Amino acid sequence: MMKTVKKAIIPAAGYGTRSLPITKVVPKEMFPIAGKPAIQYIVEEAIESGIEEILIVVSRTKNMILDYFDRSLEYEAFLEKTGKHHLLKKIVEPAISIQYIRQPFADGLGAAILLGKGFANKDPFAVLLPDDIFLKNDQPALRELLDVYKNYQSTVIALEKVNEKLLKNYGVVKGIDIKDNIYEIYDIVEKPRSNPPSNLAVSGRYIFEPSIFSHLEKGHKGVGGEVQLTDSIKEFLKLEKCYGVEVSSKRYDIGTEEGYFKLIQKVMSKSEQEDE
């Protein structure tokens, strides 16, 4: 039977240490991009890709995310009362079911995803890292992964060709090019200090089979004492097939000042072009 992906997990419980001091009070996921918080772009990408249910993994300091996606009765009443009806469309909640779970301590991306085990149940699911914002070309980045999943019915990871000097900051894969921008992946190395297996780095979109949870449950602590997702993918690869797709949308890492700044520039120039 053909499997389809309707669920997505957004892990948003990290400390955002690279963006301190602002992240002491403003979660990275709430950084504004042309008036909308980063996480709204992620939720919109999921909706446009056909996802129907989202689980956001949050922490004690991220209540702002829950408030943001909640209904704002106060604003609704105020806008009605003051006749600013045209602004009501700006505050409608996203047309998708969103659930939340708290990660008590940020002990790794792998640990955050494991909290979604009950949510995913026996279904394949997508993972969208909210600090990687993809500005879509023809179609949203996640949709490109879903198209590959549809054909291959196994785990799919977004890949990006990265300059050799920067590969040490990423998970890097070993694989063979099987078709256009699609690869079959055989191995993965987290932040290789030397001899990276290729120039293809993992970027923040994935589709997993629920079997990934049995690897995450082993809770092996890798680089930095955290439960690394990469370690579980490595184990998974020994048993099941995994594909990579080099997505055509451009990625911006808002966890770096440069990435955040470039993204804002791009979004603003796009909206200027649309206004002209």
255 binds ligand UTP (CB under 6 A): yes
Verify binding: residue 242, ligand UTP, rule CB under 6 A: no
Rounded Cα–Cα distance for residues 187 and 126 (Å): 20
Chosen residue from 5, 8, 9, 11 binding ligand UTP by CB under 6 A? 11
Question: What does the alpha-carbon distance between residue 255 and residue 180 come to, in Å, rounded to a whole number?
Answer: 30
Q: What is the CB-side half-sphere exposure of residue 230 using CA atoms within 13 A?
A: 20
**Rounded to whole angstroms, how far apart are CA atoms 9 and 243?**
19
Is 16 a binding residue for ligand UTP by CB under 6 A? The answer is: yes
Should residue 39 be labelled a site residue for ligand UTP when binding is judged by CB under 6 A?
no
Q: Which stretch binds ligand UTP (CB under 6 A): 80-88, 129-137, 144-152, 176-184?
A: 129-137
Tokens 């770096």, located at residue: 256
Give the C-alpha separation, 94 to 80, whole Å. 20
Cα radius of gyration rounded to whole Å, the chain = 19
Shorter beta-carbon distance to ligand UTP: residue 182 or 255: 255
116 contacts ligand UTP (rule: CB under 6 A): no
User: Site for ligand UTP (CB under 6 A): which residue of 13, 43, 51, 133?
Assistant: 13
Which of 66/178 has CB closer to ligand UTP?
66
Q: Tell the smallest beta-carbon distance from residue 73 to ligand UTP (Å).
A: 29
One of 9, 51, 57, 182 touching ligand UTP (CB under 6 A): 57
For residue 130, state whether it binds ligand UTP (rule: CB under 6 A). yes
- Is the peptide bond between 21 and the residue preceding it cis, with omega within 30 degrees of 0? yes
Using the minimum distance from each CB to ligand UTP, give the nearer residue, 18 or 174.
18
Binding footprint of ligand UTP, residue count (CB under 6 A): 21
For residue 7, the number of C-alpha atoms closer than 13 Å in the C-beta half-sphere is: 19
Q: Cα–Cα–Cα angle for 114, 117, 122, nearest 5°?
A: 140
Q: Which amino acid is at 73?
A: L
- Chain residues that interact with ligand UTP, rule: CB under 6 A: 11-19, 57, 103, 106-109, 111-112, 129-131, 255
